[in-house]
Amino acid sequence: MKASCVAYSALFLSTAILQFKNSPPDSFVLMTISLIFAISVFRGEVYALSASILAVVFAALSVLSALSSSILMLLSHKPIAIAFKSQLGVVGFLTLPVLLKVRSHSQKLGG
Domain assignments of the chain as residue spans, ordered by start: 2-108
How far does the chain reach from its first CA to its final CA, in angstroms? 21
pLDDT at 25: 93
pLDDT one-digit tens code per residue, 44-61: 888 999 999 999 999 999
Q: Percentage of the chain surpassing pLDDT 70?
A: 87
Torsion of CA 55, 53, 95, 111, to 10 degrees: 180
pTM: 0.84
pLDDT at 17: 94
| Average pLDDT, rounded, for the chain | 86
DSSP state of 38: H
